[in-house]
Amino acid sequence: MTTIELTPETLKGQLDAGRLLLDFYAPWCSACKTLDKVIDSAAGELPEDLVIGKVDVDQFPLLAAEYGVTNLPRLLLFQNGKLVAESGGFVSAGKLKEFVKR
């Protein structure tokens, strides 16, 4: 599992690269900070081919709008460029592991 910060310019390449968990967040969002800790704690149990791409909605509001992000945190799971699942709000480690198995 790899975690990277994404911009509108780098997102396209990551979408086409395989499995991507797109994490929309904001630095001021307490639920986002808690989700970061959950992702870190579950990292060893997440698929190795999974890339976690983080998008700061304050820096890239148009990108957030393009993906219909209206609440934080927002997770979108892509497989080979296709959206396969989405989740809004905080998720536990167990739910996260189930979510990325789709």
Residues 6+ apart with CB under 8 A from 94: none
Average pLDDT for runs of 10 along the chain of length 102:
92 90 97 95 90 97 96 96 94 93 84
Residue 30's pLDDT is 96
**Is 71 marked active-site?**
no
Q: What ranges do the domains of the chain cover?
A: 2-100
Contacts 24+ apart (CB under 8 A), 61-70: 62/8, 63/7, 63/8, 63/11, 64/24, 67/22, 67/24, 69/24
- Paired strand residues for 3: 52
Query: One of 29, 35, 55, 69 is an active-site residue; which one?
Result: 29
**Is 74 marked active-site?**
no
Residue 76's pLDDT is 97
Range 2-100 has CATH code 3.40.30.10: yes
Strands 82-88 and 74-79: antiparallel
Residue 38's pLDDT is 95
